[in-house]
Amino acid sequence: MDKQIFVFGHMNPDTDSICSAIAYTNLKKELGYKNVVAARLGDINRETKFVLDYFDVEIPVLLENVEPQVCDLNFYVSELVRKDDSVKTVWELMKNNKRKMFPVVDEKNRLTGVVSITDIATAYMELEDEMALKNQRAKFSKLIEALDGEVIAGSYPYEYVEGNIYTDSTLDEDQILTKGDIVITGHVKKLHKRVIKSGAGCIIVAEGKTSKKLFDSEEELTCAVVTVPHTFFKTIKLINQSIPVKSIMKKKNLVYFQMDDYIDEVKEIMQSSVYRNFPVVDSEGVVKGVISRRNLIDINRKNVILVDHNEKGQSIKGLEKANILEIIDHHRVADIYTMSPLYFRAEPVGSTATIISKMYKENNITPTKSMAGIMLSAILSDTLIFKSPTCTEEDKKEAEYLAKIAGVKIKSYGMKLIAAGTSLEGKTAEEIYYSDMKNFVFGHYNIVISQINTADFKGIFDLITDIKEIMKKLCEDKKYDLALLMVTDIILGGTELIAIGPAKELALKAFGMGLKEDSIFLPGVLSRKKQVVPRLMNAVQ
């Protein structure tokens, strides 16, 4: 239950699609699912806006696709390396975690670079002069840490190494050094006083064989004395491991991915890259983990629940790559395929909200006033206040039950609802045609059917030329065989059907349209699902 579950209806959503998604999301939460999110696949229409405003319910989030993203991968959470960490620290992390690359971050865990085993090897081979620590801005404390050393007397005057590195054998008898210089000496005690007098800022004694008393006896100790447990040779070898990661990390032309990047894009970049591991960051640049090519095999598909549709052509982009958990619908069973078993509930009723209202009852949950109100609205919208031939006694029964909880009268509220949805004031031809458009595949025919309920026939037919042009262009651009528009008048109780496209003969066969006509009035036809789609299917067969 930790991964998000998106609940949504079809594209170009109507009131039933939006309200059913919201109501079912609420039901799932009541049943203990915490990460369920109501979504929509397009803008809401005027009728739906009226409903949500009336019952004070928020508009669902807009979901553009369910394509797999980086956030759906099982990437590993990496140890984070700080810019000032020593090479030795990173090397130990690599050995302990068996990783060859680590992200380097700033104080806010934002990505600043990457360091790999290759970077360490290269640096180790190239850093060989006595000015290496000074040039690389190594912290004195990181030097001591890398050497497993202990300061037993005095102190180094700087935070960063400000001088050169010498060994006692490279010092001349009377050589004077600066306060930033560091001298590595063995355990020969007679050399220690000589080094102290050289003016160096730090003496590093290998093998730890020295006495603190020797230095305490010096009247004016002006340097730090550090003992390390390693041999002289190993001490010198470890010096380079104290340099900071920021001096060897890659920080230009970094290849990294964000949590919301799509997997298809990630694959292309990975295939053209010489790297095998890549940091993952969020929108603020904070490192969330690391992915490699093998992670692309194991994808946690997005979890979705479909309401009010079960046709791929009416659903979201990338649906075939999602994990469909449930389908709640009142339409014909169509062409959606799933990778695993699912809960599928389809009933021959007038609205998906009718089914969801029944599911509230089955789970002994009483919907709130707002949830009851939006479910009632969905039923009244889809059944045209019980006038549609798709309306059943169950729709009426659930509507009466929900109306009591919502505190509204069905007839008066229903007329307000229809009036809000059928107004064409200010609408363009595009808005009219695309507001409730659905795609259907019958055999080898690809057909699109749009429906608008209105009492304003004049408003429609003032724009009819533009609407037909849109339908014609849709067939040409999207390769639809037939585009239909149902202009349904609830008062008259019928539909003006407009047909455009190369397969217009289907409309002739199905509805008796004349050869030279592109529209026909169909008395008593109110339902796309029950009165138009079946006739077209018969015509195709």
pLDDT digits (tens, 9 = 90+) for 73-115: 888 888 889 988 888 888 888 888 888 889 999 989 999 999 9
**Structure-block tokens of residue 52:** 């949500």
pLDDT digits (tens, 9 = 90+) for 442-460: 889 999 999 988 866 777 7
Integer CA distances (angstroms), 81 to 123, 149, 297, 525, in order: 17, 22, 27, 69
* Confidence tier at 351 by pLDDT (50, 70, 90): very high
Instruction: Answer yes or no: are the C-beta atoms of 124 and 94 closer than 8 Å.
Output: no
Sheet of 287-292, strands arranged across: 257-258, 277-281, 287-292
Q: Which of 175-184, 328-337, 346-355, 387-396 has the lowest mean pLDDT?
A: 175-184
**Structure-block tokens of residue 243:** 């340099």
Using the structure block, give the residue that is written with the tokens 């946690």.
300
Rg (CA), the chain: 37
> Given this model, what pLDDT does residue 1 score?
43
Sign for the CA dihedral angle at 339, 343, 348, 354 comes to negative
pLDDT digits (tens, 9 = 90+) for 459-497: 777 888 999 999 999 999 999 999 999 998 877 789 999
User: Above 70 in pLDDT, residue 520?
Assistant: yes
Highest average pLDDT, of 305-309, 335-339, 434-438, comes from 305-309
**Which stretches does DSSP call E strand in 79-161?**
81-82, 101-105, 111-116, 150-153
Domains of the chain as residue ranges with CATH: 5-68+302-422 (3.90.1640.10), 71-123+247-296 (3.10.580.10), 142-225 (3.40.1390.20), 429-540 (3.10.310.20)
Q: What is the mean pLDDT of residues 58-67?
A: 95
User: Above 70 in pLDDT, residue 128?
Assistant: no
Distance CA 489, CA 15 (A): 18
- Helix then strand then coil, in percent of the chain rounded to 5, is 40, 20, 40
Distance CA 57, CA 54 (A): 8
The total number of residues shown for the chain amounts to 541
User: Above 60 in pLDDT, residue 392?
Assistant: yes
Average pLDDT, the chain: 88
Distance CA 452, CA 381 (A): 12
* Confidence tier at 216 by pLDDT (50, 70, 90): low
> Given this model, what pLDDT does residue 486 score?
94
User: Above 90 in pLDDT, residue 256?
Assistant: yes
Integer CA distances (angstroms), 145 to 126, 201, 228, 242, in order: 22, 17, 10, 8
By DSSP bridging, strand 437-442 and strand 343-346 are unpaired
Helix (H, G, I), strand (E, B) or coil at 97: helix
> Given this model, what pLDDT does residue 357 score?
98
Q: What is the mean pLDDT of residues 110-129?
A: 77
Q: Write out the DSSP string of 432-471.
A: HHHTTEEEEEETTEEEEEEEEE-S-HHHHHTSHHHHHHHH
Helix (H, G, I), strand (E, B) or coil at 403: helix
pLDDT above 70 coverage of the chain, percent: 94
* Confidence tier at 125 by pLDDT (50, 70, 90): low
> Given this model, what pLDDT does residue 248 score?
83
Helix (H, G, I), strand (E, B) or coil at 481: coil
Sign for the CA dihedral angle at 269, 274, 275, 281 comes to negative
Residue 251: CA count within 13 A, CB half-sphere: 12
**Structure-block tokens of residue 405:** 């909880």
Q: What is the mean pLDDT of residues 426-437?
A: 86
Instruction: Answer yes or no: are the C-beta atoms of 164 and 179 closer than 8 Å.
Output: no
Q: What is the mean pLDDT of residues 212-240?
A: 75
> Given this model, what pLDDT does residue 5 score?
96
User: Above 80 in pLDDT, residue 518?
Assistant: yes
> Given this model, what pLDDT does residue 522 score?
94
From the list 236, 219, 245, 238, the residue with the least C-alpha distance to 183 is 236
Phi–psi pair at 241, nearest 5 degrees: -75, -5
Q: What is the mean pLDDT of residues 123-139?
A: 67
Distance CA 367, CA 64 (A): 29
